[in-house]
Structure formats: structure tokens, C-alpha cells
Amino acid sequence: MQTNRRDLLKFAAGSFAIPSVLSGCSGDSDTSAPARTVRKNTLTVGWLDKEFPGETGPIKVRLRAYNGQVPGPMLETAAGEILEVTLENNLTPYDSSEWRGNFNVPHDLNTTNLHTHGLDTIPHLFEPLGTRDPAAMMIAVAPGESYHYSFPIPEDHPAGLLWYHPHAHGSTAVQVVSGLAGLLVVRGDVDEVPEIKAAREEFLVVSDLGLFPSDDEPDLWIYEPKQNAIWATFGAKVVTKDPTTGMDTERPDLKGGFTTGGYALRFYAVNGTPVFRETPNADNPTAPTGEAIAANIPTIAMRPGEVVRVRMLNGCSDLAIPLVLESMPIHLFALDGTSFGELRSFVTKEPTADKGWDGTTTYDPKDATVLVLGPANRAEFLLKADKEGTFELVQAAHDGVQFLVAERKVLAKVVVAGEPLEMALPATLPLPDRYHPYITDSELVKTREFTFGSSFPAVANKEVGVDFTINGKAYDHHVVNTTVKRGTAETWTFIGHMHGGAEGHPFHLHENPLEVITIGDLVQPPGVILDTIWISPNTTVETRVKFVEFVGKTIYHCHILPHEDTGMMHNLLIDE
């Protein structure tokens, strides 16, 4: 086991985070620096029982949850503060005895840790925080253990919408797709723009919850695979390795399994409430059968002329969301928590082609007909209604962009009614001091290329049944795949999946965001700064990245979480 700091659990399951603002010392060596505000939080991971709407009536589901809620509590901080989180693991021990040491086979499914997604802070996946030891092991908080995190928020950190979720390699997908994720809001200058301040905030967390019938408890749905091999979307056939013979063995007795997207039952939820139910389709295994849970679709109530600020996360484990809101422009001003200094108004339209959205992605409103939110992306936009009516905020259908066909889903309804309330849209917004002026040609010291790859059936990872790689290499804890130097800037180019079974992949770099230059042939407007970029099949994306401040061993990976857990991830060392 790793040298985790272990504390006795002092809090009962389901205890609530109580953010409190204390005066504290930052620990900076410069003793003349002013004291930094410390935000203290506790996140307790545990099981949560809920009733969800099944096909023929309510069903009992058991989710993993932070502080007894899905999504977890919203954490708030501000530039210049210290964000402290004590992570406690109250999950039950998980038997990984069939796991035999291949890190790219899901394992230790109730062991957890914490990633603050989008926060430009100290690298925090490896022990200790900020370590530059290439052999450092990932923080692993087992059931019954806890871990204390302290995240410095830079003075010039952009204000915006981020999120947090577990990131222990081998259990990330299982944990996030069973409920472990929450919003993280950095407050600051954007919030003080008068027109933004006057607008009501509406948070929309879109997530998916994957389930299987429990092997242990009748009538319970849970995601707790009893083996480490994949649950095949094709025929739902569970195969494990027999520990005595080393041979692949069919295990029809086991109901659950690890999966790259096909679940026995999956719900898509908005703010934790299921709005769409999906079940396998034996006739066409990559096109699951879906049904809206219409009564649960949330509404955003607006008066004519009113301005509302929508802050939306695509927290899904694999689903790309081409967002459409017909009849009303989406006045976008920030992506992935970083404002680009103006409103960019997207007039969206649902694709009419048979296959729906074709994968075209751009953040230039003159070329865009949808606003693409890949897995992990956040969009912040203003809505201003001119006419009364009910308008659907939709994930457009798509077929051929991802492994699974995605049916159309209504995520929310915008209901405009009542007395007019004239509110203004802002003319300008603050630019992000930390990343502006944008990276110039003369700063670029190196160009790197990253190519996503997969092979099915597997050549290397036969236990899982499929290989997922970046530049031909699957994840290895002990290998630093890429080393960069603090203070330098580079061109990073991503080459989408080109070969058989092509599918899109969202590339996520920890800590430092990517400034997007081109997506395919489409030149992006200035300031499209993303921590996760959706890369459609057969598409090349050029970005720039500057390693601004923090050093340490960190990672980049695909944010389709089952791809990540089975190897589509590399270590990155940011050196002095």
C-alpha cells in the first residue's frame, strides 16, 4: 500500500460539508504575504439508496454519493484562497482478489481520491501533492480511510464553473457513473459584472447513472461489478479470467461487469433527477433503447425580457452533447470556467440529417449550428427571452460519432411567461488575466502530436477485451510519457481516431488549459480555452498550452471514463 496519510474517521456517513471562512496562513515562505482565506470542506463518500422510475414502476437503486447527495454539494472558492477538502471514504470494502495487477483492468472499485477538474492548482493525483518523482503512486483512499487536500487558488485564477470527481485509476468510471461528482465554483470578477450579477443563476448538471441488477440483493440496481472483465455490449456476456487456469471463462451467473458504455440500465439525470432511461437493444447492441421520463424534465422559468445565467456541466461518463435551444440565442461567454471577454451568440438548430449531429465542432458562432459540450465540458451562457412560450434545451441525436448511438434527449424546458421584466445583456466581460494575452507564435518551443488508438478485440489487454491507447501506449503508473518545462509554451495537436470502429474522444489535460486554435478546418475565435476538448473521429485539433505555474507529476487522458480506466491515459511531468 501507498503511504497515505490516514486519519480515523471522525464523521458519520452523510455528514454535510460546512464551508467556513477562516483566516489562515498560506504556508508561503514570504511571511509578509497577507493571510489567505481558507475554505474548509468535508466530502464523505458513501452509499445512497434512492427510488428511480423503472419501466413498470419505481425501482430501488444504490448509488455512490458525496455527503448523501447526487450531485455532491457545490464547493465554492475564490481567486487567492486556499481550498481545503477532507475526503472521507465510507464505502464498503471491495473484493479485488480476482484482479492480478494489470492497472488497466478495473479494480479496487471502492477506493477513491479527488480531482478538482479545471482548477489551475498544484498537481494532486500523486502522493505527495506536487511531487516530481516519476515513480510516485496515485493517491488511493480505501474504505475507512480519509485524506486531506489543500489546493492553492492563484490570485489570477479565472472565475468560473469547474467540477470535482474521483480519479483513482481503475475505479474512476465506476464511481463517477454511480453518482460521484459535484460542482466547484470559483467566484470573481465575472460575477461582479452588473448585468451578470443581476441575472439569476441556473445550474444544470447533466450526468449518467449506469446500473446492473445486484448479485447479492433482490430487486436492487447497483454498479458493483463482481469481476474485473468487461461486460460486453454485444450480448451482455460476462467473461472473467479463471484464477486457477488463467483461461477466459464465461460467467453467466454474474450480472454486473465493467463496461465501455452499455449498461443493463442507464439513467441520464439533470441535477441528479433522472430525465431519460436507456436499456440494451438485443437487435442492435450499439443503439440502446431510450425513453424520456417527461415528468422529471426540469424547467427554467423566465419572464419576457428577463436575463438568466445558465451554468451547465456535461458530467456524463461518455456522452457528447451537441446542445440546441431553438427560438432563442445562446449568449455564450465562458467555456470550461474561462471567459473570453464578450458574448458570442449561438443560433442553434437541430440537425435534420438521418444520423443527427455529424461531429462538426466549433466555438465560432458564425459556423456553429450546435454548441458542443464533450464529456467534462462546461458552458456558461445568458438567455434572454423575447416571446412567451416553452422551449426545449436538447441534446441532439447522433449516430456514428461515438461507440453508442445517442438518442435525442430533452435536458430542460425554458418556460417564458408572465409580466415583462426588461433586463440588459452585458457589452463586455473581463478577460482571464492568467491566460491573456493569449500565447504568441514566438513563445512556442515545441510541437507534440497525440493520436488516439484502440483495438478490438484486444491485443495487449485481453482481460478487458479492448485496448485503448494514446500514441500506441496504454497507461503505466511508473512511466512518464511526456516531460515539459514550467514557464514554456507548446503546440499540442490531437489526431482523432482514424481506423476501424472510429469514435470521438475528449482530451483532458490536468491543471493547465489548452488554447484551441483550429478544429478540423475551422479556425477558432480568440480565447477558446478548454481543459477538455472534444475530438470527433477523423478530426485534427491544434491547441497551444503554457505550463504557467505549478510543477509536478500529473496526467492527460481521454475523458470517456471507461477508456481512461482501461489505458487511454499518460503521465506528464511538469519540471522546473
The whole-angstrom separation of Cα 12 and Cα 343 is 45
Largest CA distance in the chain: 73
Q: Which is nearer to Cu ion, 136 or 560 (CB)?
A: 560
Question: Which of 80-88, 196-204, 382-390, 559-567 is the region at the interface with Cu ion (rule: CB under 5 A)?
Answer: 559-567
Q: How many CA atoms, within 13 angstroms, populate the side-chain half-sphere of residue 495?
A: 11
In the complex, minimum distance from the CB of residue 562 to Cu ion, in angstroms, rounded to a whole number: 8
Show Cβ contacts of residue 570 under 8 Å, excluding neighbours closer than 6 positions.
Answer: 470, 471, 473, 475, 481, 482, 555, 556, 557
3-state secondary structure of 443: helix
Question: Any contact of residue 560 with Cu ion (CB under 5 A)?
Answer: yes
Q: Provide the mask over 135-164, with x wherever binding to Cu ion is found by CB under 5 A and - wherever it is not.
A: ------------------------------
Strands 72-78, 182-187: pairing kind: parallel
- Name the segment binding Cu ion (CB under 5 A); options: 23-31, 145-153, 213-221, 557-565: 557-565
The CA distance from 522 to 540, in Å, is 10
Please report whether residue 497 would count as binding Cu ion according to CB under 5 A: no
- CB 506, min distance to Cu ion, A: 7
Considering the complex, what minimum distance in angstroms separates the CB of residue 568 from Cu ion?
5
With respect to Cu ion, which residue has the nearer C-beta, 124 or 563? 563
**In the bound complex, what is the minimum distance in angstroms from residue 316's beta carbon to Cu ion?**
13
Q: ∠505-563-1 over CA atoms, to 5°?
A: 140
Task: Tell me the closest approach of the beta carbon of residue 467 to Cu ion, in angstroms.
Answer: 12
Q: Is 470 in the site for Cu ion (CB under 5 A)?
A: no
Name the 3-class secondary structure at 526: coil
C-alpha cell at 221: 440496481
Q: Could you tell me the smallest distance in angstroms from the CB atom of residue 274 to Cu ion?
A: 25
The conformational region for residue 57 under phi > 0 = left, psi -120 to 50 = alpha, else beta, is left
Q: Which is nearer to Cu ion, 544 or 557 (CB)?
A: 557
Distance between CA atoms of 242 and 127, rounded to whole angstroms? 33
Query: Looking at 99-107, 263-271, 429-437, 551-559, which segment touches Cu ion (CB under 5 A)?
Result: 551-559
Could you say which residues in the range 90-119 bind Cu ion, by CB under 5 A?
Answer: none
Q: Please tell me whether residue 563 binds Cu ion under the rule CB under 5 A.
A: yes
The sign of the torsion formed by the CA atoms of 126, 127, 129, 132 equals negative
Stretch that binds Cu ion, among 249-257, 268-276, 397-405, 554-562 (CB under 5 A): 554-562
Give the count of residues interacting with Cu ion (CB under 5 A): 5
For residues 528 and 560, which CB has a smaller minimum distance to Cu ion in the complex? Answer: 560
CB of 493 to Cu ion, least distance (A): 17
Q: Is 508 in the site for Cu ion (CB under 5 A)?
A: no
Answer for the pair 346, 330: CB distance below 8 angstroms, yes or no.
yes
165 SS3 class: strand
Phi, psi at 341, each rounded to 5° = 85, 0
- Nearest distance, CB of residue 558 and Cu ion, angstroms: 3
Q: Smaller CB distance to Cu ion: residue 344 or 497?
A: 497
Residue 166 or residue 496: which is nearer to Cu ion going by CB?
496
- Give CA–CA dist 22/438, Å, rounded: 35
Min dist. Cβ of residue 336 to Cu ion (A): 18
Rounded to an integer, what distance in angstroms lies between the CA atom of residue 26 and that of residue 21?
Answer: 14
Query: From CA 563, how far away is CA 104, in angstroms rounded?
Result: 9
Stretches 294-302, 458-466, 522-530, 566-574: which one binds Cu ion (CB under 5 A)? 566-574
* Amino acid at site 256: G
Binding-site member from 117, 311, 505, 546 for Cu ion (CB under 5 A): 505
Indicate whether 312 belongs to the interface with Cu ion (CB under 5 A).
Answer: no
> Could you tell me the smallest distance in angstroms from the CB atom of residue 365 to Cu ion?
27
E strands present in 144-297: 146-152, 160-165, 182-187, 200-213, 220-222, 239-241, 248-250, 265-270, 273-279, 289-292
> 241 with 464: CB under 8 angstroms?
no
Q: Nearest approach, Cβ of 537 to Cu ion (angstroms)?
A: 11
Nearer to Cu ion, 310 or 558 (CB): 558
- Could you tell me which stretch among 97-105, 150-158, 436-444, 563-571 binds Cu ion (CB under 5 A)? 563-571
Closer of 517 and 561 to Cu ion (Cβ): 561
User: The C-alpha cell of 413 is what?
Assistant: 424546458
In single-letter form, the type of residue at position 368 comes to A
Interacting span for Cu ion (CB under 5 A) from 119-127, 225-233, 302-310, 562-570? 562-570
CA 379 to each of CA 367, 425, 439: distance values in angstroms, whole numbers, following the listed order: 18, 17, 22
Binding mask 510-549 for Cu ion (x = CB under 5 A): ----------------------------------------
Q: Decide: is 558 part of the binding site for Cu ion (CB under 5 A).
A: yes
Coil vs helix vs strand at 194 = helix
Closest to Cu ion by CB, 489 or 568: 568
The binding site for Cu ion (CB under 5 A) comprises: 505, 558, 560, 563, 568
